[in-house]
A and B are shown apart, each in its own frame.
Chain A
Amino acid sequence: MGKRVAKEVSIAVADAVGQCRVDVISAYPITPQTHIVEHLAELVNNGELDAEYIPVESEHAAMSACIGAAAAGARTFTSTSAQGLLFMYETLSIASAFRLPIVMVIANRSISAPISIWNDLSDVMTTRDFGWIQTFAENGQEAVDLVYHAYRVAEKCLLPVAVNLDGFIVTHVVEPIEMLEQELVDKYLPPLKMKYKLDPKKPITMGAIGVPEVYTEAKKALDEAVKATYKVVVQAWKEFEKISGRRYQPVETYRMDDAEVAMVIMGSLAETACNAVDELRAKGKKVGLIRFRLWRPFPMQDFLKALRKVKALCVVDRAVSHASTGGPVGIEVRSALYQSNKRPRVVNFIAGLAGRDVTKDDFIELFERTFEAISKKPKFSYEIYGVKE
């Protein structure tokens, strides 16, 4: 096991990317991801990381350059947030359809308008459909571990991976973090070998026109490929556990064994919610927590299994889908449940937008409202919680 050192999470994430022996870094700074890309520039310019650093002129160019570099056979990295993610939106679906093993760290931040630099999940939630593998970290250690894991999965599946961590709340805090030893990283991540790439010795065409006679088949092929990554993701976590001692699963549960009411939540707020669970448990309430560690591919079986025998679910979203049937996670949870035989009551709240603090007492209130919902069905599809009237 490695040594635990106190590091700012952004710095640790950048160090992890460096340890992965990345070849090309192409990124544009945006708050709150800036420390990641700044530290990577330091590592390169000090000769500690042998990589090409492309200081691109926009996020769209960042992802475009990553696509070019990955197509040429390089291990690539980029990072962004909010408006930057939206600016590179067009290229995201191209990166996955081209089957390129790009790794992106998203420092989750709320999207405009109003412009806000603070944390919520509205940026990544707009990109669910594109065929990227998406994982979520709740703290610095998880963020670092998910970076190592991301490269292993991306290169085995030949699909891009987005590692999500909360902007500021996770990126800018100093935590004790155990970095993997370099020899272990090298063993976990063998050099990138791509069967098909841009190589004058073996010319291929990337990006031909998807005529109607082939587009459906191309999408089917991509869909099957993304679904098949589930096994690789789980296996890569099992292998990671062997070298680090830390265990990761597609759906993480907390005190779910006999829970009657469970909260579904993602990101660092889950840690505050754990405190609420403990306090309610001490009072005899049977509550638990479910968190999606793997968001895409959607871990349906793990999620349904995690529910056990809950009578009600409190889904706490960190993003709004205006005038829809719920927040993004609420919509997907209800859709997953409908396809199973389980029918817990689902109450959907949207909280913690743009860095608004959600306290342990708030979570206790949300749990209590969910208990009430078991006997009295709520009249709303979703409620934006914590609004000053």
Chain B
Amino acid sequence: MTKDQGLMSWKELAPGMYILEPGNSAKFKTGDWRSHRPVLDKEKCIKCGQCYLLCPEPAYEPNEEGYYICNLYYCKGCGICAAICPKGAITMVLEEA
């Protein structure tokens, strides 16, 4: 029925249909879009941060050691990080089925 297709009651909407929770797209998983996943070789990595800066998502986060780790919850497998890594430390690997 058409009313069952509604996401929420009209009474619960903020006036103006504003979204009051900033950045809540972080709850949404885009990681299931990908067919390839980046794999990091820490030996080659020089922690330059380009993968982190140039990732469109952003899916990379620095860890305590300063390496940039890809958050697979969001990674869409575009391959930019592997393409621009100056040391070739990232390879794109086919995602398992």
Chain A interface residues (CB < 8 Å from chain B): 97-100, 158, 196, 203-206, 208, 210-214, 216-218, 220-221, 224-225
Contact = CB atoms under 8 A, between A and B. Distances in A.
Given A217-B13, A218-B13, A196 B18 contact: yes
B8 interface: yes
Contacts of A204: 14, 18-20, 22
Contacts of B10: 216-218, 220-221, 224
A221 B15 contact: yes
B14 A196 contact: yes
Interface of B: 2, 5-11, 13-20, 22
A7 B5 CA distance: 57
Contacts of B19: 204-205, 208
A212 B9 CA distance: 14
A224 B10 CA distance: 10
Given A214-B7, A216-B6, A217-B6, A97 B13 contact: no
B17 A97 contact: yes
A20 B15 CA distance: 25
A205 B15 contact: no
Contacts of A225: 15
Contacts of B20: 196, 204
Contacts of A205: 18-19, 22
A221 B5 contact: no
A218 B17 contact: yes
Contacts of A220: 10
Contact of A196 (B8, B16, B22): B16
Contacts of B5: 212-213
Nearest to B16: A99
Nearest to A98: B16
B54 to A, nearest CB: 25
A172 B18 CA distance: 41
Contacts of A206: 16, 18
Nearest to A210: B17
Contacts, number: 58
A221 B18 contact: no
Given A206-B18, A208-B17, A214-B8, 4 more contacts: A196-B16, A214-B6, A214-B7, A224-B10
A217 B22 CA distance: 21
Nearest to A205: B19
A226 to B, nearest CB: 12
A235 to B, nearest CB: 20
A158 B17 CA distance: 13
12 contacts: A100-B16, A203-B22, A204-B22, A205-B18, A205-B22, A208-B18, A213-B5, A213-B7, A217-B7, A217-B8, A221-B10, A221-B15
A92 B14 CA distance: 20
A220 B9 CA distance: 10
A208 B11 CA distance: 18
A205 B7 CA distance: 18
Contacts of B14: 196, 204
Nearest to B9: A217
Which of A196, A204, A217 has the most C-beta atoms of chain B within 10 angstroms of its own C-beta? A217
Contacts of A214: 6-8, 13, 17
Contacts of B11: 221
A97 B16 contact: yes
Nearest to B18: A204
A100 B14 CA distance: 13
Contacts of A216: 2, 6, 10
Nearest to A223: B10
A130 to B, nearest CB: 14
Contacts of B22: 203-205
A165 B13 CA distance: 35
Contacts of A97: 16-17
Contacts of A158: 15-16
Contacts of B9: 217
A104 to B, nearest CB: 18
Contacts of B7: 211, 213-214, 217
A215 to B, nearest CB: 9
A76 B14 CA distance: 22
B1 to A, nearest CB: 12
A262 to B, nearest CB: 38
A208 B21 CA distance: 12
